[in-house]
Amino acid sequence: MADERSHAIKFDVGDGQLNITSQAAEVGEAGELLPIDYAGPAITTGFNAQYLLDFFGVAQSDVINFEFKDGNSRAQLKEKGDSDYDFRYIVMPMRL
């Protein structure tokens, strides 16, 4: 439910959880809290939801590694597990 023009979504990563939120002026706000395997410092960053959907549309694994250094640096997504092919997807964060 991201804004149709920017497709911006916000990630708040904390100890063991990921809170994904978005806003659209015409529709309202949405959020989802997901359990994750993470035990680092809290990070807030934004992404273009369409770019992430492009990756998830071709990913064959149910488990995805989402690697990033901080909220302003590029992120790397890759499938975890045994697959016939190994690919990595790099996505840059958005300013929110």
Of 80 and 11, the one with more pLDDT: 11
Q: Is the pLDDT of residue 32 over 70?
A: yes
pLDDT of residue 90: 95
Mean pLDDT of the chain: 90
**What is the rounded average pLDDT of the residues 22-50?**
92
Identify the band that residue 82 occupies on the pLDDT scale cut at 50, 70 and 90. low
Delineate the domains of the chain, giving CATH numbers in brackets. 8-91 (3.10.150.10)
| Amino acid 24: pLDDT | 87
- Of 29, 24, 72, 64, give the one whose Cα is nearest residue 47: 72
- All residues at 6 or more sequence positions from 15 whose CB lies less than 8 Å from its CB, including other chains: 38, 39, 42
- Full-model pTM: 0.84
